[in-house]
Amino acid sequence: MATSKSSKQKPKFPWRAALIVLVPLALASMVVTALAVPPESPAAKTGAQLFSANCAVCHGANLQGIIGPALVGLPKSQDNPQFLTHIISDGVPGTPMPAWKQRGLSDAQIGDLVQFIMYENLIHKAPAQADPTVIMLEQVKLIGIVLALLLIAVFALAQFNTSWVKRKRARRAR
């Protein structure tokens, strides 16, 4: 009772094809996720608590501004950690903004507040406030990465399909 060679071999095409297609798609989704807004850091979470306790009275619970200015949608000149650290630490003379370092906040706590404000500006940045050139370059970069991954998938699938068809023809010829 002899069995033919073709009946012993199981076709390998379905799982390989799925692997060849799914791996680049998974990589593409990871790239898209990586280019999205990063998760809030522990420092920013601590900064949110400090902000609620010390700053929300003047700057609003959503950083929209009440007595003090809004802290979301900051102009580019003020949207950096050094500027915010200086303002929070030393205050603004002639305004209600106190020097929080003199009021007992540590450098670490001031850093946490800065992280919170920077994070809020990152996630609440309106498209109208963002530089259109930067947005366009990020989109082009993302599209390029996704296309490159898809091109790799198509090439790998074509290579595999060609060898699979050759094996299939060789089996039929026997």
How many other β-carbons are positioned within 10 Å of the β-carbon of residue 6?
11
pLDDT digits 0-9 by tens, 92-139: 999 999 999 999 999 999 999 999 998 888 776 644 455 667 667 777
* Same structural domain, 33 and 46: no
**Predicted model pTM:** 0.53
40 or 54: whose pLDDT is higher?
54
* Same structural domain, 29 and 49: no
* Same structural domain, 119 and 58: yes
Q: Do 99 and 70 meet the contact criterion of CB atoms below 8 Å apart?
A: no
- Domain of residue 111, residue span: 42-123
In a domain, 155, yes or no: yes
In a domain, 164, yes or no: yes
* Same structural domain, 59 and 91: yes
Q: What is the CATH number of the domain that holds 105?
A: 1.10.760.10
* Same structural domain, 146 and 89: no
Q: If 0-12 CB within 10 Å is exposed, 13-18 middle and 19+ buried, where does residue 136 land? A: exposed
